[in-house]
Amino acid sequence: MNMITDAQHVAQHEAARENASKAGLSGGEFLTFRLGGEEYGIDILRVQEIRSYETPTRIANAPSFIKGVVNLRGVIVPIVDLRLKLGCDSAEYDSFTVVIVLNVRGRVVGAVVDSVSDVLQLSKEAVKAAPELSSSVDTSFITGIGNVGDRMLILMDIEGFMSSADMGLISDSH
């Protein structure tokens, strides 16, 4: 049992290192948004648009973090509440709540966040490697930590996160 856990742990860190080299530690442009008290950054090239939150049509038996689907100009888009998926204390829907519409491996997916902050250009020097945590904490989707003045951004591989098996949104065949 322990060998599997260790192998998975090594695989997670290998994936995180690979993701970091692809999407984070090289710097670039990031859309920043808030989830609870934390600020996150995702690759701006994955963002299709930002929309105000509208109540989606619920899908029976979907996990609680999948709020449902919306019709976006003829495309049925699944809506994921990142606050619920990432374990934020609360997920209030107010006038600041927005949906970031993402293009992930050729599929359109919506991500509910508390608010969008801005678009930042981060130099390679402003991005540090994500800290290594115990194997019980999945940090494989954190590509780095961005420092902007007194702000710290958690940089995410949103494509890897949204297409992970536990999300159930995108099959390997896509």
Please compute the mean of the pLDDT values over residues 94-119 and round it to a whole number.
94
Could you tell me the CA-to-CA distances from 138 to 35, 46, 142 in Å, in that order? 17, 22, 9
- Is the pLDDT at 114 greater than 80, yes or no? yes
Confidence of residue 140 (pLDDT cuts 50, 70, 90): confident
Residue 153 CA to residue 111 CA, distance in Å, equals 18
Burial readout 104-138 (b: 16 or more C-beta within 10 A, e: otherwise): beebbbbbbbbebbeebebeeebbeebeeeeeeee
In this prediction, residue 2 carries a pLDDT of 39
Token pair 């990031």 in the structure block, residue: 30
Mean pLDDT of the chain: 82
- Is the pLDDT at 12 greater than 50, yes or no? no
Picking from 30, 20, 18, 43, the residue whose alpha carbon sits closest to that of residue 129 is 20
Cβ contact 78:38 at 8 Å: no
pLDDT digits (tens, 9 = 90+) for 48-93: 999 999 999 999 999 999 999 999 999 999 999 999 888 887 778 9
- Is the pLDDT at 168 greater than 80, yes or no? no
Task: Give Cα 62 to chain centroid, integer Å.
Answer: 19
Instruction: Provide φ and ψ at 163, rounded to 5°.
Output: -100, 10
Q: Say if strands 115-122 and 127-128 run parallel, antiparallel, or are unpaired.
A: unpaired
In this prediction, residue 169 carries a pLDDT of 73
In this prediction, residue 105 carries a pLDDT of 87
Q: Say if strands 151-156 and 142-148 run parallel, antiparallel, or are unpaired.
A: antiparallel
Token digits of residue 29: 């442009």
Please compute the mean of the pLDDT values over residues 125-145 and round it to a whole number.
78
What pTM value is reported for the model?
A: 0.79
Confidence of residue 174 (pLDDT cuts 50, 70, 90): very low
In this prediction, residue 51 carries a pLDDT of 96
In this prediction, residue 78 carries a pLDDT of 96
Instruction: Provide φ and ψ at 3, rounded to 5°.
Output: -65, -40
- Is the pLDDT at 120 greater than 70, yes or no? yes
